[in-house]
Amino acid sequence: MDTETDMKPETPESGIQIAEATAADVPGIAQVRKASWRDTYPNEENGISKEAIWEYTQHFDHPDAIEKRQRNWDNGKSWIAKDGDRVVGFIYVTPSDNEINALYVHPDYLNGPELKLNIGKQLVEKAIEQLDDARNVDVWVAAYNARAIRFYRKVGFVMTTEEKSHKLIGRELKMVRPAAS
* pTM for the whole structure: 0.86
Q: Is the per-residue pLDDT at 140 higher than 70?
A: yes
Residue 8 is predicted with a pLDDT of 39
pLDDT tens-digit readout, 93-112: 988 889 999 999 999 998 87
Closest CA to 31 of 99, 111, 119, 90: 90
7, 19 contact by CB (below 8 A): yes
Q: Is the per-residue pLDDT at 64 higher than 70?
A: yes
Q: What average pLDDT does the structure give for the chain? A: 88
Paired with 93 in beta bridges are 100
Residue 10 is predicted with a pLDDT of 43
Residue 9 is predicted with a pLDDT of 38
Domains of the chain: 3-132 (3.40.630.30)
pLDDT band of 6, cuts 50, 70, 90: very low
Residue 76 is predicted with a pLDDT of 55
> Residue range 37-50: average pLDDT?
94
Q: Describe the strand order of the beta sheet including 8-9 as a list of residue ranges.
A: 8-9, 16-20, 78-83, 86-94, 99-105, 137-142, 170-177, 158-166
Residue 112 is predicted with a pLDDT of 77
Residue 111 is predicted with a pLDDT of 84
Amino acid at 129: E
Q: Phi and psi at residue 172, in whole multiples of 5°? A: -120, 145
CB atoms within 10 A of CB 113: 7
